[in-house]
Amino acid sequence: MGGETLPGTAAAADDDGSDRVVCHVDMDCFYASCERLRRPELADEPVVVGMGYEDGETVGAVATASYEARAFGVESAMPISEALERLPRRADADPDDPDAPGPEETGRYLPVDLDFYADVAGEVKEVIRDCADTRREVSIDEAYLDVTDRTSWAVAGGESESDTGDDDGDSGEVAGDGNGGGVAGDSGPPPSAAAGPADARTLAEGYARHVKSRIEREAGVPASVGVAPNMSAAKVASDADKPDGLVVVPPGSVADFLAPLPTADVHGVGPVTERTLADMGIETAGDLAAADPDRLDAELGDRGRALYRRARGDDDRDVTPTGLPKSLSRESSLPATADDETKRETVSALAADVARRARERGCLYRTIGIKAVEPPFEVNTRARSLPGPVDDPDLVEEVALDLLGEFAEVRVRKLGVRVSKLDFAESDQATLSGFETAARSDDGASESTAFRSTAESDGSKLTEWVGAEPTDEERGDGGSASRPRGVEEEQASLSDWD
């Protein structure tokens, strides 16, 4: 469409003066959806995709679980062994064994296939880039689109399919489409066919439905889309009606939409901030919007006023592309355990994933570190510097496991692996022997840096779009992406930390 505004889209006035139209696109259970794309027989089946997991094994962590699998209690970042206890593998269902689980109580377990998922994500990207000139690609399954130059908040009605310049009729949300819309010429505006506070159907709703339908038609996977006048409200909206949802929050209705939601639903509120707010007697977004901003500043620092504004529907951030990351890391939540084998298996899987991501992005790294969270929320990190930048997956695992040795017999509830001091330029790599010389003292003792963090991370997406990382402003406590309470992570709770 070349960036032109749809016919008939005069700028709509609203209560707060904002005419921006922001869409947040969030793919539903993306890895599971990709597997169903190439294996249609998995439709409606409980599907579990495991990271660090090979078909038939019981080690590794859940990268994503379909909604059918979640009904059995399988959650992202859960160890595969625990997931199998809740949802046995389909191959273990034996009709001749009275003690074996029945087929209806079993699921399909598949290993992560990042190459295939990247191919599908590339097709999603093509749609997103065609539908929005201004976008922020946050992860492999998540993006913000500013489509103000493509559509508006004007109420739909009177346009025909040919007027919209699109071949499927979705971009103009043609009246009389069987989804509750009126017919051109009817008295009054057509009612909204989307979930959310929108009463009348707007051109913004039609354009969002156009984006959503193109993704499913051209990439073959479903998406949920939230539409609002700013980024944080659009993010909350996309989570409000999963899966395959469309929620529209027009200008002037954002604060009312947010008010009854728990504070955890406010974009940027993580578990630590949620507890702090609860201690202040602030339980809902409405409470947060009505709170004393000076008191919030005193308790939360600069973030307090930012969250106060977001709870009131005020978010003036522009949708801008992300820059190169400063670090790459992954975390995995565990049932509190001191079992060394379980911890080592988890760290090995995380190390492999982090190293793979670094290689996919074409970057080298100079520091390797781990994170160990002891119950309830005691966060410890350890890191070791290398004499020069390297790309060495085996070294990442070796160093991470060596650093993990400091936590032998220590109960942990979360583990993470990180590479940092990234180098995206062409450069010589440090040799392994050079690393060993620089990283160890004369007596062979490991020289590592150590520090303690006070913030708990609540998890973010498993993989990112190439070259895209969430900014600190988009993250909740501890540098992780927040998510609404009651909405499961689409991918594993494996987050970056600062």
Active site residues: 142
Report, in this order, helix, strand and coil percent for the chain, each rounded to 5.
35, 20, 45
CA-nearest of 95, 112, 88, 132 to 35 is 112
CA-nearest of 199, 192, 147 to 19 is 147
Three-state SS sequence of 444-483: CCECCEEEEECCCCCCCCCCCCCCCCCCHHHCCHHHCCCC
Beta strands in 66-163 (DSSP E): 108-111, 134-139, 142-146
User: 131: exposed, middle or buried (C-beta count within 10 Å: 0-12, 13-18, 19+)?
Assistant: buried
d(CA 247, CA 208): 9
Amino acid at 116: F
CA-nearest of 248, 264, 251, 266 to 211 is 248
d(CA 299, CA 1): 48
DSSP H stretches of helix in 302-381: 302-311, 340-360
d(CA 85, CA 74): 9
- 227 CA to centre of own chain: 17
Cβ-contact 224, 173 below 8 angstroms: no
d(CA 38, CA 33): 9
User: 449: exposed, middle or buried (C-beta count within 10 Å: 0-12, 13-18, 19+)?
Assistant: exposed
Going from the C-alpha of 133 to that of each of 15, 152, 209, 318, 349, the distances in angstroms are 27, 15, 17, 13, 37
d(CA 416, CA 338): 15
Q: Token digits for 44?
A: 């409606």
